[in-house]
Amino acid sequence: MEKRYNAFTGYFREKYGCRLQKIVIDAGFTCPNRDGRVGVGGCTYCNNAAFHPNYSTPDKSILQQLEEGMEFHRGRYRNTTDYLAYFQSYSNTYAPLDQLKRLYSEALSHPSVRGIVVGTRPDCIDEFKLDYLASLAKEKVVIVEYGIESCYDRTLKRINRGHDFETARRAVEATAQRGLFQGAHFIFGLPGESITDMMGMAGIINTLPLNTLKFHQLQIIKGTAMEREYENCREDFVEFTLDGYMDFFVDFLELLRKDLYIERFAGEVPPRFVNGSPWGLIRNTELIRLLEKRLEDRNTCQGRLYKD
């Protein structure tokens, strides 16, 4: 049966003939809205420890993190032999080019690593770094992931991103000009955004030359500035029930270009980090099943309402 949305699952097997499992790497980077270059405190929602595994810590070498990550995944994916080094924590192009070359080369020196995934901010990239990544992509798998989070400048300012949306657009377009495979991350439910605002992002995203998309519902992480904001200004937050989010996301999918891969549409944060778990302890596999059923029940699909 034809898929009702363009799921990223299976892309690597189709493209490269095998499964490529990502191994999360913490290479000790920071962000310009943390170290004072454009701000301090980081994004108001962020606690990096909430979304990376225990084996991924900057006190270990990249090769050690890779080895421990491979061992971690062998129990679940026993037949996987090829991996991608996923530079995930903080902004992984926020360093001089020579340092990036050294770190990426260390990861690519592992015989089981086929390529790298580089998570970063749109204001932490330049033509020299993109040219280098494009040169790597001639022989290795290279994927660039941008944290964009919102298409609205007022939201980006409120969450202390330290850049505007036009910066994101320029970075995405420059990356596409070099033929690099790229994705972007967005959050639904950021303070001050209505359902109408969030739905409006679909049309803006459609204008970006992206390949993949990751979406998360906002989760309030303990100890963050956003937790304090949530407690003081709860009326500024749209809070999704699980059922409501499924209908919202189906509505959103109907507006998206069909060629955009959906890598993730909801997030999982370990319960110990979250200020409340309104959806319970539901896992990603169950969320996917619920989405597929909702699409089937509504007899709809990604891009049904998209107009070029």
Can you read off the two tokens belonging to residue 193?
């955004």
Flag whether 6 is in a domain. Answer: no
Q: How many domains does one find in the chain?
A: 1
Flag whether 4 is in a domain. Answer: no
Q: Is the pLDDT of residue 225 over 80?
A: yes
Percentage of residues in the chain having pLDDT higher than 90: 81
Q: Quote the pLDDT of residue 51.
A: 63
DSSP labels, 198-258: HHHHHHHHHTS--SEEEEEE---BTTSHHHHHHHH-GGG-----HHHHHHHHHHHHHHS-T
pLDDT in tens, 94-130: 999 999 999 999 999 999 999 999 999 999 999 999 9
Flag whether 1 is in a domain. Answer: no
Flag whether 304 is in a domain. Answer: no
Residue 270 has what DSSP assignment? -
Flag whether 3 is in a domain. Answer: no
Range of the domain at 93: 11-297
Can you read off the two tokens belonging to residue 55?
């084996």
DSSP labels, 81-101: -EEEEEE-SS-TT-S-HHHHH
End-to-end CA separation in angstroms for the chain: 26
Flag whether 45 is in a domain. Answer: yes
Flag whether 31 is in a domain. Answer: yes
Flag whether 2 is in a domain. Answer: no
Please tell me the pTM assigned to this model. 0.94
pLDDT in tens, 24-72: 999 999 999 999 999 999 999 988 765 667 888 999 999 999 999 999 8
CATH number of the CATH domain containing 169: 3.20.20.70
